[in-house]
Structure 1
Amino acid sequence: MKTSGNHPVLGAFCCAFYLPLVASMEKVTIPAELRTAMAEIAVNTTSCSVTCGPGYKLERLCSVTATGERRNCTIRRSGCLTTWACGMVHFTIPVGKPFQFNCLSPDEVGFEREAYFYTWRFAQSLITMNDMMFKPLKNTESLVRLSPARESDAGTYRCDMQLVKTFRVIKRIYFGVRVIQNELVNLNFQKSLTWEQKVFYDYLVGIGSGVIGGTLVGMVLCCVQRFLRRAANKPAKI
């Protein structure tokens, strides 16, 4: 049997483990230029100003020395993007009323406005997020104006905000718009009820009011029990 001393492979492994130990024992000299050098680092940052689409965040930048000392701290606003899917927003508007909705919210100012464009699609008379139901809508602005609103304007509007350079979608939002007649806007439910329906409605409201409803029911049950007891104790007439 051969020993490790005359085995070439084991000898190479020994040298490989020995060399790093020798190198680690040598002193490392840090140049004077690096000792006084400073790096600009973001030491603190806020969350994005919006939950979806492009927004902005505030960062605190400081010059940090080799000893960890912070100097010349400033606040910088930079763009951020959490997610591109924003879901749906619902609106109900009367016929003939001017109305508009915007794909760009006031807090979405993290990116340059010239860096992206808008693509609109429309699903008439449908409140849906099924992309197969939409047709192109001729509008290149960030908002849609209904002046005035018509019944044919009802449906779902989809807005895609895309980067000019890469055509990447950075925001998609749906606007569900319902357009109703003016006489349906200020409906008074109680005026349309008969006298019997109003009594029953008030009774349901009282029952649904929690403690008051429970108290009324308890009083009624107590009265019923007393009446039954008196009727049971009363002697029968011959």
Structure 2
Amino acid sequence: MASLKVAIITGASSGIGRHTAIALSAAGWSLALTARRLTELEETKAACANPEACLVVAGDIVDEGFVKSLFEQTIAKYGRLDLLFNNAGRSDKATPIENMPLEMFKSVVEVNLIASFLCTREAFRIFKSQTPTGGRIINNGSLAAHVPRPNSSAYACSKHAVQGLTKSSAIEGRHFDISVTQIDIGNAHTSMASGHTLGALQPDGRRVVEPTFDPVHVANTVVHLASLPNNVTVLSMDIMATGVPYAGRG
């Protein structure tokens, strides 16, 4: 009988989170799925290969009490944790910095960074205490962690900070077989990136139609990373549509 493998996926109600839940379930993983929208979470669960091995926990991932409860419920159901996919994210709607409301900036940082920190903290507590120790964290970064888009100060700052969280937690986890990865995604065709097919603003002021790619490939990549032993780390990787203007000068 195969050993139990357990993953928590944030932002599992749609997009990359949903695709990853479906792919991990097909690979035999048991899941805890979280997002704010209960109806959409239930749809993700129903689409999984083994819905009975999917725990749905709806709530606000930036709320510390909710995050603690999410991890407690996961352990109560499955008894262990092997993977955390910090996937939940929010963009800042292409706003020039002089027009950026403080509340928008804060809300983007809270979802993209603070929620990832809270979940990472709770995962570390479990990974260090379970037998054998260890586990894996995958952070959903962005190409914006390296090359920001125009008018995206909140999003770019938050994703640069996620890179700091990835590296610092990788250092803290290395002696406990805790592997940490940041996967930087460029134009997976989700609701967040779909506008690029209509013309994305470039630094020189042009609007250029950019290619996108099926997010199932991100999900399959997460499954591969999750299949590696915990003493093997892929610290960072980029996955993008081939024609994305990222490397070089456009």
- Please state which band the TM-score falls in when normalised by the shorter chain: under 0.3
Pick the structure with greater CA Rg.
1
Greater RCO, 1 or 2 (C-alpha within 8 Å, sep 6+): 2
TM-score, with structure 1 as normaliser? 0.24
TM superposition score normalised by structure 2:
0.23
Structure having the larger proportion of residues in helix: 2
